Structure 1
Amino acid sequence: MTKIGYARVSTADQDFEIQQQRLQSEGCVIIRAEKVSGASREGRTELATIIEFLREGDELVVTRLDRLGRDTRDVLNIVHECEQRGAFVTILDPHVSTRGEMGHVILTVLGMVAQMERRFIKERQREGIARARQAGAYHGGKARLNHELIRTLHHHGIGASEIARRAACSRMQVYRILAASDHEIVEK
């Protein structure tokens, strides 16, 4: 039996070191981490790798349920895929495991709560933006990545990994920006 940890944060400026330390202290021998939204499974390659790697008796461990996903259906699908491989899922806070039947019920309820929490966050965000617009204080979100820097580095033949390091983003973000640039050029 192997304990495999999964750590996730939503944005590039967040850090998953605390999650990784907690997973190590729980005995995870392998820890995979990624910076991607938990709103859906799209783009979550590290999670897909873990699920593909799971074997009979293995255990997928996350610090909190929202690290696994914020959509009830996604969470339940992840649990189902793990179980099809004979593996278990354990959430550390609160401690819940699919090793017992009660764990499934609790995970379902917690998944619904996480999804509801995400909806509340989005609603509060929309309300805040609407108030800021009325007050003339909202000018849109600030650009988090320097698209021009990424395109320039690419133009000078620098590889995606080095571009990602210099722009403080993931390689996937580099690829997306470059693909969007190519698309824009084609349309012009």
Structure 2
Amino acid sequence: MLIGYARTSTLDQKAGLEAQIEALKALSCERLYSEQVSSVAVRDALREALAFCREGDTLVVTKLDRLARSVRHLGDIVEDLERRKVGLRVLDLGLDTGNATGKLMLNVLGSVAQFEREMMLERQKEGIAKAKREGKYHGRKPTAPDMIAQVKTLLTEGVPKRRISQITGLSERTVYRMVNDDTPLQKVS
């Protein structure tokens, strides 16, 4: 059985998620799991997809970076899949761990992907530092203060705080702080 997994990092990447899902459907994946969450966050859909995989199944992703956050994480996933005799297919690389060449390429490409990510983060930090020195960087505008009314409305409608967090995209901690704290949320300078 082909089991598809799709992920984007943010809710703004809806088109990217839809494109991944369409590619997995075109391959005739019988089960699809998808989520919009950062790679470093808890990924429930990935956990469910991995738990669903049985011997002889193949987990399919469109891109390697949609699956693992690092070479170590990729190694853990692949080791778990191999132990359970589950294959892994990465569409954009034409990679299939069903053979020795696919396994080798997976390790090489995983290392390259991690290197690229680390270089991107390094350049990003350098750019932010330069913008701060020039007085051009002010960070992201806080979203929570603009959402207090929406959160309180949902609460009065009886929506649980955890669900409010999912609806608004705010962390549960922020929702609880908005509700339980009389201090207004403000941008920290």
TM-score normalised to the size of structure 2? 0.83
AA in 1 matched with 2:152 = T
The aligned runs of 1:32-111 (5 Å cut-off) are 32-38=33-39, 40=40, 42-111=41-110
Max Rg structure: 2
Q: Aligned with 1:4: secondary structure?
A: strand
SS at match of 1:137: coil
* C-alpha distance in 1 between matches for 2:22 and 2:178: 38
Q: Root-mean-square deviation (CA), in Å?
A: 2.3
Sequence identity percentage: 37
Report if the CA contact (8 A) 2:165-2:172 is conserved. no
1:18 alignment counterpart:
19
What letter corresponds to residue 133 of structure 2 in structure 1?
Q
> C-alpha distance in 1, partners of 2:150/2:166?
8
5+ residue gaps, structure 1? none
Supply the AA of the counterpart residue of 2:166: A
Give the gaps of 5 or more residues in structure 2: 183-189
| 1:164 aligns with one of 142, 150, 166 | 166
The 1-side partners of 2:46 and 2:178 are apart by 28
Three-state SS of the structure 1 residue aligned to 2:4 is strand
User: Match for 1:175 among 150, 172, 175?
Assistant: 172
Q: Is the 8 A contact 1:70 1:111 kept in 2?
A: no
Structure 2 Cα separation of the partners of residues 183 and 85 of structure 1: 46
Sort the Cα spacing of 1:152 and 1:91 in 2 relative to 1 into closer, same or farther, 3 A: same
Mapped partners of 1:69, 1:48: distance in 2: 12
Q: SS where residue 93 of structure 1 aligns?
A: helix
Q: What is the total number of aligned residue pairs between the two structures?
A: 177
Offset, 1:158 = 1.9
Distance 1:149 1:51, change over 3 A: farther
